[in-house]
Every structure is written in C-alpha cells, then in structure tokens.
C-alpha cells in the first residue's frame, strides 16, 4: 500500500428483498375481516347511523387511512359487518334446529332462541340492516336483503314440513304459516325493543308458540 492511498472498504452485499410471505403486514382479506369484526359491536351499541370511519378505525386499532384503503365507504364497512353478524346468528339457529329430535322440537328451539335477554342486540342490528339500504340507490344491497329473507322463510317452512312428516303437526297452509311466523317474530321484536307496550321475552315466546299451535294444529294424541 502506498502512502496517501486509503484502504478500500469491502463492498456491502446487496440487501435481499423480504419475501411477501415473511412480511408482518397482514393480507388484505385478514385486515378487512379485522375491520369488519370491530364494527359489529359498534353498530350494536350505537346504531348503524351513529358509527363513522374514525370510530371503526379506533376500534380496529388501525389508521383511518387503512380503513379507507380497504373500503370505499363507511356504508360498505357497516353493511359487511351487519351481514356477517346476521349470517352467524341464523347459522347458529339452523345448527340448533338440525340437532333437534323432531320438527316440533326444532320450532320450539327456534322460538326460544329468537327471544332471550341477549337477542335484543341482534334485533337492533336486524332493523338497522333493513333501514340501511334503499332499493333505488343500492340494488345489490337490496338483493342481499331479499336473499337473506328468502333463506329465513325457507328455514321456517322446512321445520314446519318436518313436523308434518313426523306426524306432530296436522298440516295446513305452510306457505301462509311461514309468512305469518316471520312477520310476527319481526313485530314482536320491534315491540320488545321499544317496550311500547311492554313485552317480556317470555310473552314474546308465548305468542309465537301459540301461532305454531294454532296454525299447524299441533297433535298431542300421537300413538
């Protein structure tokens, strides 16, 4: 080495790119689900119209920018949250009904599950969901609502048919019964939430069970 010449430093190896699988950033679908899950209790506590993007971001522990990156609007977030809750709720009802020993027992379990001290939260979200979309401005949302109600009617009718097949119900107008059962459940739920006039969960169940007994001619003399 000659005087005045500085020693050459060894060149640093190039940095390796971090593989996508090794990054700590969550995949889009995971982040979206996290945001939607955080919105569910907010809707239940405050109502659909009172929840904003900042509320959802704070509950999810992410920035507002992260929320707006994954969702085009607050309505999109809240709509997905409400759909997720409703699908879970009715999936649990269906599972309980399928495990029942008969159609009549399944309908009784369904009535019991519709009205408990814990279901007021569900019913608040259910009515919020129906008020959230306008068919004239959001056709896809309205179609989703219609599909969900169709599935609910199908479930009620299937249980009534099962009871007839088991010989527990005398039969009758099953289509009409399905419509009236769903309508009465909705009406009782609204009265239960508003308490005008007052309605207990026990009385709500009694009214629905009375409808089942009257409409389906429940048989108590089976041999």
Domain membership flag for residue 138: yes
Domain membership flag for residue 1: no
pTM of the predicted protein model: 0.74
Top pLDDT among 22 and 158 is at 158
- 91 pLDDT higher than 80: yes
Domain membership flag for residue 221: no
Query: What region, left, alpha or beta, does residue 7 occupy, with left being phi > 0 and alpha being psi -120 to 50 degrees?
Result: beta
Query: How does pLDDT run across 27-60, given as a tens digit for each residue?
Result: 788 889 999 999 999 988 888 888 999 999 999 9
CB neighbours of residue 4 within 10 Å = 5
Averaged pLDDT, 57-78? 90
Domain membership flag for residue 122: yes
CA distance 215 to 223: 22
- Return the closest-CA partner of residue 103 out of 157, 166, 172, 154: 166
Instruction: Identify the CATH number of the domain in which residue 159 sits.
Output: 1.10.357.10
- 67 in Cβ contact with 60 (< 8 Å): yes
Query: What region, left, alpha or beta, does residue 182 occupy, with left being phi > 0 and alpha being psi -120 to 50 degrees?
Result: alpha
Residue 93 structure tokens: 């009802």
CA 200 to chain centre: 24
Query: How does pLDDT run across 113-168, given as a tens digit for each residue?
Result: 899 888 888 888 888 887 776 555 567 777 878 888 898 999 999 999 999 998 99
Instruction: Give the three-state DSSP class for 109.
Output: helix
**What's the structural domain count of the chain?**
1
CA distance 125 to 121: 6
Instruction: Give the three-state DSSP class for 75.
Output: helix
């Amino acid at each position: 080495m000659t005087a005045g010449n500085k020693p050459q430093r060894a060149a640093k190896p190039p940095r390796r790119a971090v593989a996508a699988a090794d990054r700590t950033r969550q995949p889009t679908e995971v982040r979206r689900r996290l945001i939607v899950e955080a919105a569910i209790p907010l809707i239940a506590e405050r109502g659909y119209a009172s929840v904003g993007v900042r509320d959802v971001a704070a509950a999810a522990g992410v920035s507002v920018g992260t929320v707006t990156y994954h969702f085009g609007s607050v309505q999109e977030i809240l709509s997905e949250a409400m759909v997720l809750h409703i699908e879970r709720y009715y999936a649990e009802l269906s599972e309980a009904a399928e495990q029942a020993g008969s159609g009549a027992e399944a309908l009784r379990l369904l009535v019991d599950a519709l009205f408990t001290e814990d279901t007021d939260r569900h019913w608040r979200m259910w009515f919020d969901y129906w008020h959230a979309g306008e068919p004239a401005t959001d056709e896809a949302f309205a179609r989703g609502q219609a599909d969900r109600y169709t599935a609910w009617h199908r479930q009620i009718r299937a249980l009534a048919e099962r009871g007839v097949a088991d010989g527990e119900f005398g039969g009758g107008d099953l289509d009409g019964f399905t419509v009236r059962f769903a309508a009465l459940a909705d009406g009782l739920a609204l009265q239960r939430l508003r308490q005008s006039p007052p309605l207990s969960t026990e009385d709500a169940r009694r009214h629905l069970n009375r409808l089942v007994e009257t409409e389906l001619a429940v048989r108590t003399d089976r041999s």
